Amino acid sequence: MITPPSAAVLDWLARWPEPCATLLLQLRVQLLDAQPLQERLNLGWQGLAFHHATAGYVCGLFPQRDGAVHLLFEHGVELHDPQQRLLGDGKRCRHLRFETTDDVAGDELLGWLAEAVAIGQARKRR
């Protein structure tokens, strides 16, 4: 069973334009349902970070001023992405952009999450 978001997370979400809160909460449920993750509100980064016990920081949800939400993968450059759906051009991270609730569903997202956990676990073993 997924724990409801804390009062601090709900208060933080109330500061963002819709559909941020709706999108972020839907994505949160998918992430927590798919993997044993611990969530942490990071006010410095204005995001909700997700940590795995053996993989460390795996991903984060970041609301945007235009109402969208970015799902950032910490080691996104290492994810298998033949269709180049992951966005960003940095040396390490990649993200997905969600603008509507229709964007949230998908096995591809859960596949990337499982791969991100595996990458984090492999990096921890080094």
Average pLDDT over residues 52-57: 96
How far is Cα 123 from Cα 28, in angstroms, rounded to an integer?
Answer: 24
**29-51 confidence digits (pLDDT tens):** 999 999 999 999 999 999 999 99
Q: Whole-prediction pTM value?
A: 0.94
Hey, which CATH number is domain 7-125, 2.40.160, 3.30.1460, 3.30.1490, 1.10.3470?
Answer: 3.30.1460
* Percent of the chain scoring above 90 in pLDDT: 81
Q: Quote the tokens at residue 46.
A: 């204005």
- pLDDT for the residue numbered 105: 67
Amino acid in position 8 = A
Domain boundaries, the chain: 7-125
